[in-house]
Structure 1
Amino acid sequence: MALFGRKNDSTAPTATAEADPALAALTGAYTIDPAHSTISFTVRHAMVTNVRGTFTEHEGTLHLDGSDPANSTASIDVSIASIDTGAPDRDGHLRGADFFDAETFPAMTFRSTAAERIDAETYRVTGDLTIKDVTRPLSIDLEFHGSATDVYGNERVGFEGSATILRSDWGLTWNASLETGGVLVSDKVKLGFDISAIKQGPEAA
């Protein structure tokens, strides 16, 4: 079921050329449910292992357009102070001036600018990721997990995806050299997105 498509591109897949009533029914505004969503990261530490963490406070909205999927959009705001790697001292260092400087730059944001279908199950959302007042383009590949009505009557959709960035591109350059060679923290960071979003009432015309 395609939610995202390539707009005004004759080379885009044509399998959804005819309107799909089930897909069209998903059209509308959605709010990301932070209690059932995870925004995470993984980074190599000391060249030999991975450190994993999450941002426990975030909010966002989606607009899904089932009739013209390329018009779908996403907006996410993440609280940097909510970073959690399971180690309080490390979390404090990450919040500080060496890394995110959360006091000066409290939020990380993503605003989509385009969306496209890659194949039957994979979609790509491209947008602007801002960290520490540095804005650069980011593409996130997503798998659409479908839609369902939960026990409270909420209409939900689910997505899971990832993207890999170089943290230095956003001014996160702190590091330390190891005696055995290499550095303490990898420049490459994998971002993870596991999103559950709840459909809202009819959007204003």
Structure 2
Amino acid sequence: MSLFSRKSESAATTGSATAVAEVNPELAALTGDYTIDPTHTSIGFTVRHAMVTNVRGVFGTHEGTLSLDGSKPENSTASIDVELNSIDTGAPDRDGHLRSADFFDVENFPRMTFRSTAAEQLGGDRYRITGDLTIKDVTKPLSIDLEFNGSATDPYGNERVGFEGGTTISRSDWGLTWNAALESGGVVVSDKVKLVFDISAIRNKPQAG
């Protein structure tokens, strides 16, 4: 996950200002391997229902890792695995339908995965992460805009970093095409789905010996 480059203006020999990549010392100090903390991380979504309201849900079970390199951001990576059976929209019948073959088909495709391939800085602490998102048997590229929320040492001595952000996808691109028509026009479930990420990750401690 390429998250640690900064851009500043420096004068070239011609006198013009040129944006150059610059490593931020504070962020460079965060270089290391991290494990996503599932109890303080939320991976959720919002989708339009019946053209008039939004349904929100979360995936309660997931795991992932970050490898952050503040000196060479291009070496940073991110990996996330989500258990689709853990979907929770607050309505058991609806959750059961989402787990069925009409949608995720969790019996045959239990996990959704994301593997980063590139990243760029958008300005300040805003970044865009690009990678491969796999749902069922379909893998397609996906870009996620994230904001770096900072770092802290928690009361248990864990070094943490935080990111939040999201993106919008067309679920039909991943073969999630089930729908039903409304008498008034339109459909029950919109094709567009907003994905929302609020991530807390803990730096891995050195192995003894």
2:65 is equivalent to residue 61 of structure 1:
yes
Looking at CA atoms only, which structure, 1 or 2, has the larger radius of gyration?
2
Residue 5 of structure 1 deviates from its aligned partner by 4.4
1:47 matched residue in structure 2 = 51
CA contact (8 A) 1:3 1:69 kept: yes
1:160 matched residue in structure 2 = 164
Q: In structure 2, the residue corresponding to 1:92 is in which secondary structure?
A: helix
Q: In structure 2, the residue corresponding to 1:153 is in which secondary structure?
A: coil
Aligned partner of 2:178 among 168, 174, 180: 174
CA contact (8 A) 2:4 2:28 kept: no
* Structure-2 separation of matches of 1:151 and 1:161: 26
2:80 matched residue in structure 1 = 76
C-alpha offsets along residues 102-127 of structure 1, whole Å, 9 cap, x if unaligned?
00000000000001111112101100
Amino acid at match of 2:124: A
Q: Stretches of 4+ moved more than 4 A in 1?
A: none
* Structure-2 separation of matches of 1:20 and 1:51: 40
2:113 is equivalent to residue 109 of structure 1:
yes
Residue 3 of structure 1 deviates from its aligned partner by 2.5
Residue 13 of structure 1 deviates from its aligned partner by 4.9
Indicate the structure with greater strand content.
Answer: 2
Amino acid at match of 1:81: N
What TM-score do you get using the length of structure 1 for normalisation? 0.91
Work out the number of aligned pairs and report it: 195
Aligned partner of 1:132 among 133, 136, 139: 136
Aligned partner of 2:39 among 35, 45, 69: 35
* Structure-1 separation of matches of 2:81 and 2:89: 19
Identical aligned residues as a percent? 75
| Root mean square deviation, CA, Å | 1.7
2:94 is equivalent to residue 90 of structure 1:
yes
Residue 151 of structure 1 deviates from its aligned partner by 0.2
What TM-score do you get using the length of structure 2 for normalisation? 0.89
Amino acid at match of 2:83: S
Q: In structure 2, the residue corresponding to 1:90 is in which secondary structure?
A: helix
1:141 matched residue in structure 2 = 145
Q: In structure 2, the residue corresponding to 1:104 is in which secondary structure?
A: coil
Q: Which runs of 5+ in 1 are unaligned?
A: 7-11
1:9 matched residue in structure 2 = none
C-alpha offsets along residues 47-99 of structure 1, whole Å, 9 cap, x if unaligned?
00000000000000001111112221100000000000000000000000100
Aligned partner of 2:197 among 187, 193, 196: 193
Residue 202 of structure 1 deviates from its aligned partner by 4.3
* Structure-2 separation of matches of 1:83 and 1:64: 29
Amino acid at match of 2:87: I
CA contact (8 A) 2:36 2:200 kept: yes
